Structure 1
Amino acid sequence: MERSHVGRDCGSRSSPRAFSVPTSNVPMKMSIPFRPKQSLGQNFLHDPNMAEKIVGTLTAPPEAHVVEVGAGTGVLTERLAERHDRLTALEIDERAVEVLRERVPEADVRETDVRETDWAALADEKGGPLRVISNTPYYLTSPILFALLGQRDCLAEAVLTMQKEVAERIVAEPSTKAYGILSVLLQLFAEPTLCFTVPPQVFSPQPDVTSAVVRIRFGPDTEPEDLHFDDARRYVRAAFNQRRKMLRNSLSAWTKEQDVGFPNDWGRKRAEALTPDEFATLARHLDAHADPVPDA
């Protein structure tokens, strides 16, 4: 089953308006009302055309409950508010919160750390599954991805701008250098699509790397049968933490030490050789035949 895509199916169904892309190589620029904090990983999007393109990637209908993470100075927020009446903006910087409340008064702006967000509680409060969008601070990309995966039952979609290298890992294929923990778990429990790249020049201050926009679809049809996320994550992490070793060694706490064999002679393979679906089969096998390993 194909679970990841590159550059496909990234058109918007949330609004009939088309965005325009500047013909010049020099992006349009919007002012930043305060000095970005390096400690918060702040790189503010200032190009309105790129903002339109990112917002246009969200497939949410107008009545959807949309949550923007790290709303910053509101470049995406303003455009989201034009399309969605039910908009929540999460932001940790009190300076940005003040700007957001003045700039987009119709949005539910909350001063909070996204790492403390209870997505299930927020979905219950808002009355439905959430659509998440974010220009993600690079240092928070993995924590946010794992948080969304862990509470995916209350989510329908996420559109995240992140470091291009991480985006490529998410959609990587088996037996490639980029293939790893994020690849397997996101392709097993969701449907990720790498939509397009974002140049450093559209941010202030400019990051040292190129970014990319990834859309992640969640839903019952992306959920593997009879497989718990925490169990799968435990096995996949153990396998890739020692990715140069054969699985019979990296997973020996569940196999060799408990006299449990591998299906299909997979013990002789490395983690990078197994597809996400094969990891699901292996995880079910270990769940059925091996005892849990404390602190694994």
Structure 2
Amino acid sequence: MASRPPVHRARKRFGQNFLRDRGIISRIVRAIGPRPGERIVEIGPGQGALTEPLLEAAGGRLEVIELDRDLIPGLRVQFFNYPDFVIHEGDALKVDFRALRGEGEPLRVVGNLPYNISTPLIAHLLQAGDTVADMHFMLQKEVVERLAAEPGGPDWGRLSVMAQYRCRVESLFVVPPEAFVPRPKVDSAIVRLTPHAELPHPARDEALLAAIVKEAFGQRRKTLRNNLKGRITAAELEALDIDPGRRPQTLSVAEFVRIADHLAQTTGEARP
């Protein structure tokens, strides 16, 4: 058993909201399904509410990344009797996950992410490719809805396209504010991101694809003809079987890739 952690006051600058609901914690661990021998990395363990059941389910092997140095001594004391418990002190946004994996098994990454870093951190992890086996995150419910959205809906946007280009996205369940101390002002939700073993719609130039998606969603109410003006003509879009009068939120991942591949192939456009 782990020791009791020392008292720590949540810090706004780190976006800290500590999970306390044991039922929710158990449900998260069941969704993750950790098994002994896996490389599991928890981002932002906080006071170890999720860390302890993860350690037990994973046979005592777990790595954590914690930015708040004041929490680290408490984690060392709390889990001193787990020899395969490893703490990496620092900012997860700056971690080289490829180097962290090394020659070992792909990483399973989990965490209750602060709202202010959730989107850039997911983007950072998506760039790690086959380094990551899957990700289970607690995020602001609104972010999960955007990640898991479908084309044509109000939540479909740049984040949806780029996440689903690389991953299968599953929205699992909602976590209410009362599960945390202090209570956040919004609902949270658990999401599972599983990188595709093979990309369903691989782009010739992924940087160009990202630039096209960003520009297309620059003004959601405008049409592709307007948002991509200077990139591609209406006639070219029609030749790709894409109506230039459509709005960006109606396009699928495959259609965005079709546009980017056309530009990469026919114009030799340099990476933005």
TM-score by length of 1: 0.83
Within 5 Å, which residues of 2 pair with 1:242-261? 242-256=219-233, 261=236
**Alpha carbons 1:67, 1:133 under 8 Å: kept:** yes
Gap runs ≥5 in structure 1? 1-29
Does residue 41 of structure 1 match 2:15? yes
Are residues 60 and 224 of structure 1, via their aligned partners in 2, closer, same or farther at CA, if it must alter by over 3 Å?
farther
Aligned with 1:33: secondary structure? coil
Cα distance between partner residues in 2 of 1:219 and 1:265: 26
**Alpha carbons 1:242, 1:250 under 8 Å: kept:** yes
Offset of 1:221 from its aligned partner?
3.4
Offset of 1:174 from its aligned partner?
1.5
Cα distance between partner residues in 1 of 2:158 and 2:118: 14
Cα distance between partner residues in 2 of 1:39 and 1:101: 23
| Identity over aligned pairs, percent | 34
After alignment, is 221-230 or 33-42 more displaced? 221-230
1:100 corresponds in structure 2 to 75
1:20 corresponds in structure 2 to none
Within 5 Å, which residues of 2 pair with 1:106-255? 106=82, 107-124=85-102, 127-255=104-232
Aligned with 2:117: secondary structure? helix
Are residues 100 and 41 of structure 1, via their aligned partners in 2, closer, same or farther at CA, if it must alter by over 3 Å?
same
Decide which of 31, 47, 50 is 1:73's aligned counterpart: 47
Cα deviations across residues 90-120 of structure 1 (Å, max 9, x unaligned)? 0011121111111123210121111111111
Gap runs ≥5 in structure 2? none
**Alpha carbons 2:165, 2:201 under 8 Å: kept:** yes
Does residue 55 of structure 1 match 2:32? no
Cα deviations across residues 26-76 of structure 1 (Å, max 9, x unaligned)? xxxx98711111011000111222111112211443211000001100111
Aligned with 1:179: secondary structure? coil
TM-score by length of 2: 0.90
Offset of 1:267 from its aligned partner?
2.1
Offset of 1:225 from its aligned partner?
2.9
